[in-house]
Amino acid sequence: MSFHVKPGDQVAHSVDFLRAIFSEHDNLAHARGVVVSREPISDRNALITVKWGDDEIPPKILESNLAIVGPNMRFCRC
């Protein structure tokens, strides 16, 4: 894995994960959340607790199934 999330990061499910579970067109694909905690489970992965905007989405997910989201730096004048 080339990145690590940390508490406070804004995340979404990764495109590869959504495609793997055939959910690239449902509410899971549009979900955004904030990382609450990170629990390492191996040298290469961690179990992440996310506070999603939707209570129906399970809060725990592997870090490798997440993507960090934020402003589009190509268009944002942040």
Domain ranges, residue 60:
10-68
59 within domain boundaries:
yes
Q: Radius of gyration over alpha carbons of the chain, in Å? A: 13
Q: What is the pLDDT along the chain (78 residues), one digit of tens a residue?
A: 467 899 999 999 999 999 999 988 888 888 999 999 999 999 889 999 999 988 899 999 999 999 999 776 555 555
For residue 61, tell me if it sits in a domain: yes
pLDDT, residue 70, reads: 79
Which pLDDT score, from 0 to 100, does residue 1 have?
45
Count of domains observed in the chain:
1
Per DSSP, the residues of 3-67 read ----TT-EEEE-HHHHHHTT-TTSHHHH--EEEEEEEE-SSS-EEEEEEESSTTS-SEEEGGGEE
